[in-house]
């Protein structure tokens, strides 16, 4: 998948791109089953909400074959390489859940703000790419973006250690209001298999999920290999220290694995 000039301009203007149906329903369903398997594990990488349901599973590509292959999928790596301008390494990998009724908020933040402050990543030559494993709707806690906010650099933030189980550098209400009055606020939604690519400087959040419908999104945080982090303050499974360039796999790598598992189950 190669981005067109029009898509590159849209990314520059808005700070994100949306690709409906980038992965097939079968590929998304296979990965959703893998997410359920990972969330059931008793591992330090699996963080839980105060209710006990899964919130996020870090570094799942290191202990699950399906997520390993997704982390090197050409439909994801190619477009990011095109914008970042060179080889990438995996800075962070998360399988985020918003459980039905109990999925908690992710506060307003910029990812690069955290990576700069906590990990000493030199520049915002990094971005996120998100893969929907469920249908994401207006009801089940979609991502919220402030278009154009990536053009403002790193915004002042405070370290929130109390709101949720995961600490985050968050923006205050006045700043979010100021940014939204300038750029608006959008909530990209779509079917399982859709993909969002967004700048590491884009201000974003997601509300609690009080609906009866859960949703899971996989996030790859990809960084240019020359821009790797300089400080190792966080656990290696949160901020990775393997700066080896990702080599993309074949386009059918997930289909092949899902088919092999189905055959083995028969």
Residue 67 has which token pair?
Answer: 């997520």
pLDDT of residue 256: 82
Q: How far is CA 9 from the centre of its chain?
A: 22
Q: What is the pLDDT of residue 104?
A: 87
Q: What is the reported pLDDT for 266?
A: 45
Look up the pTM and report it. Answer: 0.92
CATH 3.40.190.10 for domain 14-265, yes or no, is no
* Tokens at 51, concatenated: 């209710």
Tell me whether residue 127 is exposed, middle or buried, using C-beta atoms within 10 angstroms of its C-beta: 0 to 12, 13 to 18, 19 or more.
Answer: buried
Residue located via tokens 């000493």:
120
Q: Could you give the CA distance from residue 88 to residue 84 in angstroms, rounded to a whole number?
A: 8
pLDDT at residue number 166:
62
pLDDT at 77: 98
Q: Which long-range contacts (CB under 8 A, 24 or more apart) does 99-102 make?
A: 99/49, 99/51, 99/53, 99/54, 99/209, 99/214, 100/140, 100/209, 100/211, 100/212, 100/213, 100/214, 101/209, 101/210, 101/211, 101/212, 102/49, 102/51, 102/53, 102/209
Q: Could you read off the pLDDT tens digit of each residue along the chain, which spans 266 residues? A: 789 999 999 999 999 999 999 999 999 999 999 999 999 999 999 998 888 888 899 999 999 999 999 999 999 999 999 999 999 999 999 999 998 998 888 889 999 999 999 999 999 999 999 999 999 999 999 999 999 999 999 998 877 655 555 667 889 999 999 999 998 999 999 999 999 999 999 999 999 999 999 999 999 999 999 999 999 999 999 999 999 999 999 999 999 888 776 655 54
How many other β-carbons are positioned within 10 Å of the β-carbon of residue 180?
A: 16
């Amino acid at each position: 998948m190669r981005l067109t000039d029009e898509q590159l301009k849209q990314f520059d203007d808005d700070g994100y791109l949306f690709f409906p149906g980038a992965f097939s329903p079968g590929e998304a369903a296979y990965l959703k089953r893998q997410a359920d398997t990972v969330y059931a594990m008793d591992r330090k990488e699996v963080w839980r909400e105060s209710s006990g349901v899964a919130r996020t599973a870090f570094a799942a590509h290191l202990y699950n074959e399906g997520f390993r292959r997704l982390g090197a999928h050409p439909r994801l790596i190619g477009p990011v390489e095109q914008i970042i301008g060179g080889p990438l390494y995996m800075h962070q990998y998360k399988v985020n859940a918003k459980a039905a009724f109990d999925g908690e908020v992710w506060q307003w933040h910029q990812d690069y703000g955290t990576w700069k402050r906590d990990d000493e990543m030199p520049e915002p030559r990094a971005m996120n790419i998100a893969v929907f494993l469920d249908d994401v709707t207006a009801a089940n806690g979609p991502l919220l973006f402030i278009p154009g906010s990536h053009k403002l650099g790193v915004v002042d933030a405070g370290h929130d250690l109390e709101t949720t189980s995961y600490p985050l550098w968050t923006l205050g209400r006045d700043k979010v209001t100021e940014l939204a009055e300038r750029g608006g606020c959008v909530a990209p939604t779509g079917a399982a298999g859709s993909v969002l690519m967004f700048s590491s400087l884009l201000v974003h959040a997601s509300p609690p999920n009080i609906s009866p419908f859960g949703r899971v999104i996989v996030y790859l945080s990809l960084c240019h290999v020359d821009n790797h982090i300089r400080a190792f303050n966080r656990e290696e499974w949160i901020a990775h220290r393997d700066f080896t360039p990702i080599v993309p796999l074949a386009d059918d790598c997930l289909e092949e694995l899902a088919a092999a598992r189905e055959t083995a189950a028969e």
